[in-house]
Every structure is written in structure tokens, then in C-alpha cells.
Amino acid sequence: MKRVAVLVGLCVLLLSAAAWADGINLTNKFGTVSITNAGIVSVGAQLRSYGAVNTGSSLGSVSFSTGALTSGSILGGGTFAGGAGSSFIVTGGGAWIKTLTGTNSTHVTLFSGSFVGPVNWQLLSIGPHGWTYNFELSGTIRGKMWDGRTVNGTTTQYITLYKNQWRNDNKGNIGLGSTTLAVPEPSTLGLLGTGLIGIAGTLRRKMFGV
């Protein structure tokens, strides 16, 4: 019985890890962000890579928003709210979308979700004479892919505030954003289910002698 229990545990861990091993990495650049105590809202960030697709030009757009500042300060770093008042949207545009989705559409929402839990706003450095402030925005996201699958992920956005500009219009600039979506493969999830059914059957025979 002990060996069967160990086998069950190991198989569950291995199959689960396999199911979630592959993911999609994407990057974004450029665009601006509006940063106030009410939250952070991005505008005009370009999707620059999506998985293995990287043409050197824009592949679409990435937009995100947070809830209100819940701790700390904008220039000193702190925490913004996630949850229902936040969003994270990845939109693909161009002929490459047809290959990905198998449809004739060239404009598809690839991921639509929101931040899960707090969004970290960390001050990384201050430039000479205090004119520039460099930040890292990071958080966990959850939402749906274009094909209906629900996935989790993480995002990190590097943002620079030019102090005089921010005091004038509350705007900053996105230097680079990096996001990973942990996407399960349907075939691997099927293997997970089949494996667990087989293990359950073995356990039943060991316990009841049938």
C-alpha cells in the first residue's frame, strides 16, 4: 500500500508538471502609462514578440490597468490593487494571426484577463539630478486565451518616469515588458487524466483485491 501511495503521488506531480511545462512568452515595448493614485493605465504599447513569432515590427498591442494605489507612493514605490478593477489585454494584428488561429481574421484578442492580487510597483533607480525614476511593475495575471482556455501568467513591465513630465501630465514611458502565460497543452492534459484513471484502478485492486 505504501508503494502504491508513493507511486500515485509521483505520477500526479510528474503529469501535472508536464501539463503546465510549456508556455507562451511575449514582449511589449513603447507606449505610455498614466500613473496616478487612482491607478496605472497603459496606452499604445506594441506587442513585439509572441512565442516564436518576432518580425522586428509590431505584432499587435498590449494594454493593462491596475486598481488604486494601496500602499507606498508613486515616486517611492508601493502597491496597486489588482482584481476586478484591473485588466491585461493582448491583441494580435496582422497576417501571422491566420496561421496561429486557423481563421481568416487578422485582428484577434489573444489574451484577456486581469491582475490577481496586488500589483508591485518597485523603484529600481533614480537618474542623475533626480530627473528620471525607473520602476518595475510586476504581478500575476489570469484570464482566457483566444481559444477559450483559462490560463495563469506573470508580467513584468519596466517603466520610466521623467519627473517634470509626470508632474505635468502624470505620464511615463514603457521601456520593455515581458509576460509569460502558462498554457496547458490539450494532449498533455488528456494524458494527465488517463494516467490518474489508471492509477485509481491500480489502487482499487490493491485495496479491495478486485
- pLDDT value of residue 183: 79
The 10s digit of each residue's pLDDT in 152-196 is 999 999 999 998 889 899 999 999 999 999 976 554 444 444 544
- According to the 3-state scheme, what is the secondary structure of 152-190? EEEEEEEEEEEHHHHHHHCEEEEEEEEEEEECCCHHHHH
The 10s digit of each residue's pLDDT in 86-130 is 999 999 999 999 999 998 999 999 999 999 999 999 999 999 988
Helices within the chain (DSSP H only): 2-19, 96-101, 163-169, 186-208
Share of the chain above pLDDT 70, in %: 77
CA atoms within 13 A on the CB side of 127: 10
Position 50 confidence tier, pLDDT thresholds 50, 70, 90: very high
Dihedral class, residue 128 (left if φ above 0, else alpha if ψ from -120 to 50, else beta): beta
Position 9 confidence tier, pLDDT thresholds 50, 70, 90: very low
Bridge partners, residue 163, by sequence = none
- pLDDT value of residue 12: 40
Reply yes or no on whether the pLDDT at 209 is more than 70.
no
- pLDDT value of residue 111: 98
Position 11 confidence tier, pLDDT thresholds 50, 70, 90: very low
The domain segmentation of the chain, as residue ranges, is 1-21+185-210, 23-184
Q: What grid cell was written down for 103?
A: 481563421
Lowest mean pLDDT among 15-19, 77-81, 157-161: 15-19
- pLDDT value of residue 98: 92
Lowest mean pLDDT among 68-82, 120-134, 171-185, 194-208: 194-208
Mean residue pLDDT of the chain comes to: 84
